[in-house]
Structure 1
Amino acid sequence: MAGLTETPSQPPNQPWTSAQSRAQFAALAQLRWCIFRNAFRRKGGTGELIARILFVPFLAIIAIFPILGAGIGAHLLVVTNRLAMLSAITWGVFLLWQLVVLNISAPGLSFDVNTIIRFPISFPRYLLARLFFGLLSAANVIGTLALIATDIGIGIARPSLIPWATLTLLVFALANIFFTRMATTWVERWLSTRRASEIFTALIIFGSLGFQYINLNFNPAFQHGHHASKLPILIKIFNRIRPIADFLPPGLAATSIVSSTQGHHLIAIASLLGLTAFGCLFLAIYAWRMHREFRGENLSQVSHQPTATRISPPQRIAGAPSATAQPTRSLFSLSPILSACLRKELLYLRRNTNQLYGFIAPIFMVFLFANRMGASGTGGSLVFPAAVAYSLLGVSILSYNGLGMDGPGVQFYFLSPTRLRDVFLAKNLIGFLLSLIEFGLIFAVLTFSAGTPSLLIALATLCWLVFATFTNGAIGNLRSLSAPKKIDLSKISRKQTSQLSALIALGVVLACFGIGFAIVLLSQHLGQPWLMIPILLALAVAAFLFYLHVLNRLDTIALNHRETIAEELCKT
């Protein structure tokens, strides 16, 4: 890297210069650009570029509303002399910042940033490099734009507030950046142990589902004029937590601007200093974490395993079969290889937050909306198929990266006498079982809340589910070999699949739903509703044959893609 090695013309022990620092950060910026550019030159890079182009407008539409809302809301508060409610906007931006961190992952890198420790670099420059490398994340960009919009809205309404509001919001933006980096690094530190990872998984699931419940039951937009009775509860909760919230960074930022408007300059300066102190505290805690990594601490679940425990050699039990005995069939007459792979996949399911959330969240959302439909008397014959299709999306998208959880262990598949056909069959069986369980739970939820679906619709939906599941399984297996992506459970906010695979999964589910809906319309047009079942059953048989054909060719396809698989999954 530029400026990291001494040139022959330099005398030894020459002090580090600012020109070398600039060259160093220029090299890091160039490296980041080269990684982004060269990623589209690899095999499959064109498809990833197309997927990213298609996803960017959707993300922009999602982000533009809170950004405009922050600017317009700040403008209206100043114009209507209700600037005391500015804390609602600052808290909204802060929560938006953290929500984007959890839901939009940073672009994946083809190398570990910690490798720059190999060069003669001091800790302050290493800390700045780590901050510099994550500066253009989606959360920082969207959150900063929301604060800029807030500043513009305040400035248009009252130009005299521009200097102080700009300074306060700038410090608030830095505090948010430091807070997200601090929280991310320390959560990753806690996730490096399996027990903490499982606890964090439970917290994420319950927290996300709780937020969905509160949003659906207390958001006036979903109440249709019946939210007046719930407003006193919200106001009471807000009044209880407001004294504490005023002393946190979002509250301090709003207090500083409001106090400056009212002429209370000492309070405004004190609030700004408090906000600065919070930012310095976040930076110090983040620096503490980075200093331990700089000194060589390795965050991995293996490094936290007890080293003093000795594993005694297996003892021969009287009457037990010898090592030379032939392997026997396990439960349900499954082969030992398939049984071992199934047990491994069940462990993956327990430790993978996204997979568990993709299984639980659709059922929970169907339960919430089913209660509302049951209370209002709305709903139709397509509610049950639509709910099943929605639940299938959360489970099926994870089958498009079947080898992601195996990581470097994938190399043992090529070294051992194990067919990848059996490995993927075990992965698919878990996915098929989850889909079947979701089908039964959704049927039970709708029966309890909105009425039992008709037998004809239930059977037709089951046939459609078999058709869609086998189609997704076949295409997902192909994408798992052609575009694998390593999943690191000790890291948060990491994509489970490539963007193109996610787009393909969404397209396959929508296409299957469109085919099913067209069959329903055709049967109703012909006046023979029972005709849905044989047509969908024929499609299910065809999808099953297609799945078997792909499954039997997986070993050959894996050998043709073994370089790509090893390059992606075995990298550190």
Structure 2
Amino acid sequence: MAGLIQTPPPPTLTAVHTRPWTAAQSRAQFLALAQLRWCIFRNAFCRKGGVGELIARIIFFPVLGIIAVGPIVGAGFASYYLISADKLTLLPALTWAIFALWQLVVLNISPPSLSFDINTIIRFPISFPRYLTARLFFGLLSASNVIGTLALTAADIGIAIARPSLLPWATLLLIIYALSNIFFTRMVLSWVDRWLSTRRAREILTAFILFASLGFQYINLNFNPGFQNNRHHANHLPFLLKIFHQIEPLAALLPPGLTATSIANFAGGRFLHAFAALVGLVAFSSLFLAIYALRMHREFRGENLSETTKQPQTVRIPNTPAAIPHPSTSPLASASTVGLSPTIAACLQKEFLYLRRNTNQLYGFIAPIFMVFLFANRIGTSGRFGSFVFPAAVAYSVLGVSILSYNCLGMDGPGIQFYFLSPTRLRDVFLAKNIIGFLLSFIELVLIFTVISLTAHPPSLLISLGTFCWLLFAVFTNGAVGNLRSLAAPKKIDLSKINRKQTSQLSALIAVGIVAACFAIGYGGVLLANSFNLPWLMVPFFLLLAVAAFFFYLHVLNRIDTIALSHREELAEELCKT
């Protein structure tokens, strides 16, 4: 009787794959991704040090909101004024300003890092259209998208108040314009990540970023009317107008110009021209999406941008016996003769390579010197700050260099495992990293002194000695606190990815606070010396602080190995993740 009742056979694998995919399954996938994103955000504050990160975000977000409120409200008032005053020819300036704001936020405010790679969803049964949609929506609430969309919303409200009849058409255009900006930023960042997968491309991009950003600062200082008197402004105005008239026809054919042109034509009753501009805007948005989809399709097919996956070139090694260098002629031996052990010398060589490849560190070193070069002559000749120009410039340079010392192990990545496996003291490793930071700070001191001496007037000997002693106090204090934060809140640095934070938000906040506190103590020391009418008193005062900071730094450095062992799980979890 057992074989009389036949049970239906289980469905085969082919039958499972031939079942049509339902909309409910797609909704379940996107809901799971949304829940995963929320769990990552929520659980990040439950980890060790999560309370500090939460406090840093609570402090950071209001500051970001205050910075963003001005452009957002300004966009609303500007659109209202341009429409109500019938100055529609100036509307492209507003749309281009919002586009520039969007891109500036992308470059200056990094999106929050994730605890996993979004590409891992490829392992699951997901088609490319759903994968592309997931990639688009997973980072939709970034700071640039939120601020840019709010600026466009404020502009739409201003248009609606000034002329309600334009509201439907303007809303449609600004929605498409917002999507165009989102697709454009995603397209650029995805392809830049592709180009950064090679070392040569990273070096070229580093040089481009340095020259572009510093060139922008130069143009802003020399052509911005806010930094010029009336005579200089009158001399620069014809040149600026000439450039504007040359680029205006080309700018009108790009998405910001098409958006403004369509709104202006619709307001003037030229509906055919308005519709043609709308079609052009849709075409640009589709083009940006298509180029982004092309990049995502290659990743969906399994392309790996890591340099470690590339096949090394075959190199023929000659059969001639290699000459073994004598120990006394090796670079490590020569380095040890000046008091450095071979371990520290090897780590210094590695740190020099890191310095050359780290764009943010190079920018933090070069930008303060360039800014001092631009402003030193103006501030020095004005006489408003007097002898405080040199100390203030040095304090500004310390902020650019020291903030990167709060994540010393970020560039090592998975190599942190070898520190614990090899007979190497982490004290030597951190000492080598700190030596590089100290050298950068003192090189900046010399360069800033040279720039101020050539462009304005050299600071007095008393101010120079006091600033040097204060710098010793500041770098030793930052070195000690930075070493502790590097172990307590490490963050992996991936040079093949653009726009990634190099320190945690709490570490960055602590770095700014430490530099501000050191500057306040230094200013207090100057006031104390002047109150006793003994200006030379600032030198022994700062020197005493430097000695105390040095002993504090040595105390932290000698306990580095013990502290690292107690944080080895957090270090491995953060630095070894893919």
Residue from 457, 477, 486 that aligns with 2:483: 477
Q: Which residue in 2 is equivalent to 1:369?
A: 375
Q: Secondary structure at the residue paired with 2:234?
A: coil
Question: Shift of the alpha carbon at 1:320?
Answer: 4.6
State whether residues 327 and 333 of structure 2, in contact with CA within 8 Å, keep that contact through their aligned partners in structure 1. no
Q: Name the counterpart of 2:309.
A: 303
Match of 1:556 in 2: 562
Q: Deviations over 1:326-373 (max 9, x none)?
A: x84536342221111111111111111110110111111111111222
Q: Hey, what does 2:393 align to over in structure 1?
A: 387
Q: 1:125 aligns with which of 126, 130, 134?
A: 130
CA-CA distance at 1:225 after TM superposition: 3.5
1:338 equivalent in alignment to 2:350: no
One-letter code of the match for 1:541?
V
Structure 1 residue 7 displacement after superposition: 13
Aligned partner (choices 446, 451, 464) of residue 458 of structure 1? 464
Aligned pairs for 1:505-516 (under 5 A) are 505-516=511-522
Q: CA deviation at 1:171?
A: 0.6
Instruction: Give the match for residue 96 of structure 2.
Output: 91
Determine the C-alpha separation between the residues in 1 that align with 2:277 and 2:185: 21
CA distance in 2: counterparts of 1:559 and 1:178, whole angstroms? 45
Partner Cα distance (1:133, 1:83) in 2? 37
CA distance in 2, matches of 1:142, 1:46: 26
Q: How does 1:16-31 map to 2 (within 5 A)?
A: 16-31=21-36
1:74 maps to amino acid: S
Does the C-alpha gap of structure 1 residues 111 and 374 become closer, same or farther in structure 2, counting only changes over 3 Å?
A: same
- Alpha-carbon distance, 1:388 to partner: 0.5
Matched, 1:251 2:294: no
Match of 2:180 among 171, 175, 183: 175
**Equivalent position amino acid for 1:564 in 2:** E
Letter in 1 for 2:201: A
Distance change >3 Å, CA 305–CA 472, structure 1 → 2: farther
Cα contact 2:265–2:273 (8 A) shared by 1: yes
Q: What is the deviation of 1:381?
A: 1.6
Match of 2:6 in 1: none
Q: Name the aligned partner's letter for residue 236 of structure 1.
A: K
1:218 aligns with 2:235: no
Cα distance between partner residues in 2 of 1:549 and 1:233: 59
**Larger deviation: 298-307 or 476-485?**
298-307
- Percent identity between the two aligned chains: 71
SS of alignment partner, residue 229 of structure 1: helix
Cα distance in 2, alignment partners of residues 458 and 504 from structure 1: 27
Superposed, 1:270-419 pairs within 5 Å as 270-304=276-310, 306-309=312-315, 315-317=321-323, 320=326, 328-330=333-335, 332-419=338-425
Check whether the contact 1:329–1:336 (CA below 8 A) recurs between aligned residues: no
Q: Are 1:68 and 1:146, in contact at CA under 8 Å, matched by a contact in 2?
A: yes
In the alignment, structure 1 residue 203 sits paired with structure 2 residue 203: no
TM superposition shift of 1:301: 2.4
Which residue of 112, 118, 122 maps to 1:113?
Answer: 118
Q: 1:476 to 1:19 in 2, by over 3 A?
A: same
Answer with 363-372 or 123-132: which moved more: 363-372
What count of residue pairs does the alignment treat as equivalent? 563
**Equivalent position of 1:3 in the other structure:** none
Secondary structure in 2 aligned to 1:382? Answer: helix
Flag structure 2 segments of 5+ consecutive residues without an equivalent. 1-10
Q: What is the TM-score with the length of structure 1 in the denominator?
A: 0.95
Runs of 4+ in 1 over 6 A off after TM superposition: 311-314
Q: Distance in 2 between matches of 1:91 and 1:34?
A: 37
Q: Are positions 1:82 and 2:87 aligned together?
A: yes
TM-aligned CA deviation for residue 319 of structure 1 = 7.5
CA distance in 2, matches of 1:498, 1:311: 45
Q: Compute the displacement of 1:312 (Å).
A: 7.0
Residue 349 to residue 7, structure 1, CA distance change in 2 (3 Å): farther
Q: 1:426 aligns with which of 423, 428, 432?
A: 432
Q: Which one-letter code corresponds to 1:155 in the other structure?
A: A
Q: Which of 418, 443, 449 pairs up with 1:443?
A: 449
Distance 1:168 1:216 in 2: 35
* 297-306 or 139-148, larger mean C-alpha shift: 297-306
Unaligned runs of 5+ in 1: 1-5
- Matched residue, 1:67: 72
Counterpart of 2:44 (choices 39, 44, 52) is 39
The answer to whether structure 1 residue 153 and structure 2 residue 158 are counterparts is yes
C-alpha separation between the residues in 1 aligned to 2:147 and 2:421? 46
Amino acid at match of 2:248: R
1:301-336 deviation digits (Å, cap 9, x = unpaired): 2234634346679944277569xx9x8453634222
Instruction: Supply the RMSD in Å over aligned alpha carbons.
Output: 1.9
Q: Which residue of 1 aligns with 2:8?
A: none
Kept in 2, the 8 Å contact 1:90–1:250? The answer is yes
Most deviating of 290-299 and 13-22: 13-22
Amino acid in structure 1 at the alignment position of 2:64: L
8 Å CA contact retained: 2:376, 2:389: no
Query: Is the alpha carbon distance of 1:313 and 1:384 closer, same or farther for their aligned partners in structure 2, counting shifts above 3 Å?
Result: farther
When residues 490 and 414 of structure 1 are mapped into structure 2, their CA distance, relative to the original with a 3 A threshold, is: same
SS in 2 for 1:98: helix
Say if 1:345 and 1:318 are closer, same or farther in 2 by CA, change over 3 A. closer
Task: Tell me the residue number matched to 1:238.
Answer: 244
**2: CA distance between counterparts of 1:104 and 1:273?**
32
- 1:101, 1:354 → 2: CA distance? 15
- Does the Cα contact within 8 Å between 2:379 and 2:389 map onto a contact in 1? no
Identify the residue that residue 536 of structure 1 maps to in structure 2: 542
Please list the CA deviations of residues 8-56 of structure 1 after superposition, one character each: whole Å capped at 9, or x if unmatched.
Answer: 9x96532111111111111111111110000000000000000110011
Residue 377 of structure 1, CA deviation: 4.4
CA shift for structure 1 position 529: 0.7
Q: For 1:406 and 1:310, how far apart are their aligned partners in 2? A: 30
